Structure 1
């Protein structure tokens, strides 16, 4: 029999070097860490979204590792700042996937950055758990993409239910010209008539605008308007509150779940009193009834986070907590870090108690939260009060 070993080995080496064939890396089997990739908005106007998420992820991963890790392996967080730019988020996601070889993406502070990266997660077959709020992230369902925050549709319907209890059915809408604002506006305009609500004014402000007086003046002169709904986040949502008070606009004001943090109360000051928002139980842990199944989860998180960082929890940290929780639970049930099996396990999540609510995922639902898990909050004496 002829032996070609001396001839074949050089050819094989050349083929591998030029990527003509691939050879499994023996080191892969011996990897001792599991890599979690994150792109978050930790600088710029929306930094208040990414910073609590970053801190929460670091704290949770350190806690898991100190307890022995996950399936005997340590978790490694690889995190980059996208500055709120969708194109930068895509570049960072590619880096996480191609260079850092992450096992999952648990990331996405905004709807815009999440939606920009979603096609990449689908193409590469990588579990992607987003923190962003818009329904479009999971509707229609994408095989590899999930989200842990309540959808804008749920938030809008929670507000509409409260409006009707107060006998208010005619609403003026002021929404932000951003991914979150546009997606929310679409959901509001679709859901309103189905909820018995009439949108009598539809104004828009720019994400970088420093004044919304023109839009609010138009709303003030609208004789039909019974309430004002502002849909945005960051500085624009705060400016709208200040202008609202300056114009002495007497309509009850509602805002989106995009402002669910104590920082919003601090930034709006006395002008924010009486504003109502839909939010997760995680930001009002101490006010959640003792009989609520989420009580222990949200109180534990609040105590640990505030003790470590000396600042109040926010919805954006809550989302990060649930993102880690969802992934860890899925890996444990799958018994492996294999991406396809982990994806399947995430989709099969059932009765998982998180800080946002109780998750029940399915093939048709990659959010897994119910409308009932939202709380309706009101700012009273510089604090949140649960209204419903």
Structure 2
């Protein structure tokens, strides 16, 4: 009589299963260790090329420089940072596509960018829908007003810039102002904020002119302003056009004091505008005057250190635009530590709970109603003197 082979087969299967289970159990600590060591994936979209490259290039260089340093020092919570960076070439449509890729394919934990308001506004809805924290490097108030749960930003707002400049004008006895703004996202938002603030401060906007971001001659608008009763001029825009405004202003031998916004707070503006930049005033973070700050200023050390690191490694003059990337990266690192990891909800909550974070752009305190965390005191008024920025006291 033949024995039923089934029990033997079952026994062998059982032994194999037990062996497999034991092998798997033995590997569990290794799997847990590997999981704990998974990199922190930080996505970034910047305008490293294109018309806004003066913003995005220093941002890219800053992020790459500091991610390398952080990783060399052991990472964050024992995990290395993996920077997944894309260049939107100053194109909002590309920024939108890269955001989708960062979320769906790269599966990043947080996103930094974009460099411009237009690109940021193209990215924000996707970040919100996917509940991935987004920290913008662009300035317009509309990025965080109304508050969007997962969207934050580092630069001072257009409203703050308008407030700082108009208050300075008023203190100098100027009550009639000319506004010259570009037709891009930053210029449009800045124009709206400036007009509202001027009215509330009892100042009259006697000229309200606009120009295209790619215009190469802005003489017609300036000619109208020159013949107006304007006592001072505010240029609201980014890119190279404000430098063209400065040159046209000088060619017309205009006498009204000329102001720009923090969109020109860079030695690149002085380089492009040349001698035409002399005497122009603008609000700026402490970074551009870091070495002249009092020793007791809480921003002095971080600003001086960043300026030295960037200029040494990038072989370029430091800019406030790279400074926003510096602050965004280190605020996120700080939030990851406080959140105990990269759970997106906890990370979002930690960013929103940031208090007294000292950056090169200001001292940030976020809240559920404020996803920028700065007030007008984060600005210093500077003037171009002798080819350099000097604080106006």
- Compute the TM-score of the two structures, normalised by the length of structure 1: 0.91
Contact 1:122-1:143 at 8 Å conserved across structures: yes
Q: CA RMSD in A?
A: 1.4
Determine which of 298, 302, 307 is the counterpart of 1:297.
Answer: 302
Alignment partner for residue 325 of structure 1, among 325, 330, 340? 330
In the alignment, which of 280, 289, 310 is matched to residue 285 of structure 2?
A: 280
1:373 aligns with 2:378: yes
Corresponding residue for residue 9 of structure 2? none
Q: What is the match of residue 174 of structure 1? A: 180
Partner of residue 359, structure 1: 364
Deviation at 1:31, TM superposition (A): 5.4
CA contact (8 A) 1:306 1:313 kept: yes
Task: Provide, for residues 237-289 of structure 1, a one-character-per-residue CA deviation record: whole Å limited to 9, x for no partner.
Answer: 11111111111111100001111100101111111100001111112211222
In structure 2, the residue matched to 1:312 is 317
- The answer to whether the Cα contact below 8 Å between 2:36 and 2:79 also exists between their aligned partners in 1 is no
User: Which deviations, in whole Å up to 9, do the C-alpha atoms of 1:200-253 show, x marking residues without a partner?
Assistant: 10000011111101111111111x200011111111111111111111111100
Residue 171 of structure 2: aligned partner:
165
2:96 maps to which residue?
90
Larger radius of gyration between Structure 1 and Structure 2: 2
> What is the CA-CA distance between 1:28 and the residue it aligns to?
8.8
Are 1:39 and 1:80, in contact at CA under 8 Å, matched by a contact in 2? yes
Q: Partners in 1 of 2:303 and 2:211 — Cα distance?
A: 34
Which of structure 1's runs of 4+ aligned residues deviate more than 6 A? Answer: 25-28
Partner secondary structure for residue 254 of structure 2: coil
Match of 1:3 in 2: none
Quote the Cα distance in structure 1 between the aligned partners of 2:189 and 2:256.
24
The SS at the match of 2:50 is: coil
2:25 is aligned to none
Shift of residue 27, structure 1, vs aligned partner: 11
In structure 2, the residue corresponding to 1:356 is in which secondary structure?
coil
Partners of 2:184 and 2:149 in 1: CA distance: 25
Secondary structure of the 1:43 match is: coil
Name stretches of at least 5 consecutive residues in structure 1 with no aligned partner. Answer: 1-24
Q: TM-score, normalised by structure 2?
A: 0.90
Tell me the distance in 1 between the aligned counterparts of 2:373 and 2:96.
26
Give the secondary structure class of the aligned counterpart of 2:207: strand
Q: Which residue of the partner structure matches residue 189 of structure 2?
A: 183
How far is the alpha carbon of 1:164 from its aligned partner? Answer: 1.4
**Cα contact 2:144–2:372 (8 A) shared by 1:** yes
Partner of 1:200: 206
For the 8 Å contact 1:283–1:318, the answer to whether it is kept is no
Residue 26 of structure 1 and its aligned partner are, at CA, apart by 9.3
Q: SS of the counterpart of 1:114?
A: helix
* Residue of structure 2 in register with 1:5 after alignment: none
SS in 2 for 1:350: coil
Give the whole-Å Cα distance in 2 for the aligned partners of 1:26 and 1:62: 25
Partner of 2:245: 240
Matches of 2:289 and 2:118 in 1, distance apart? Answer: 27
SS of 2:125's equivalent?
helix
Match of 2:344 in 1: 339
Aligned to 1:127: 133
Name the SS of the counterpart of 1:385 in structure 2: strand
| Matched residue SS, 2:295 | coil
Equivalences for 1:255-270 in 2 at 5 Å? 255-270=260-275
| 1:48 equivalent in structure 2 | 54
Distance in 2 (CA, whole Å) between partners of 1:199 and 1:31 is: 58
Residue of structure 2 aligned with 1:254, choices 251, 259, 263: 259
> How far apart, in 2, do the equivalents of 1:244 and 1:125 lie?
47
Task: Supply the distance in 1 between the matched residues of 2:69 and 2:375 (Cα, whole angstroms).
Answer: 29
1:325, 1:105 → 2: CA distance?
A: 13
1:170-192, Cα deviation, whole Å (9 max, x unpaired): 11000001011001101101111
Count of residues paired in the alignment: 363
SS of residue paired to 1:362: coil
TM-aligned CA deviation for residue 29 of structure 1: 3.4
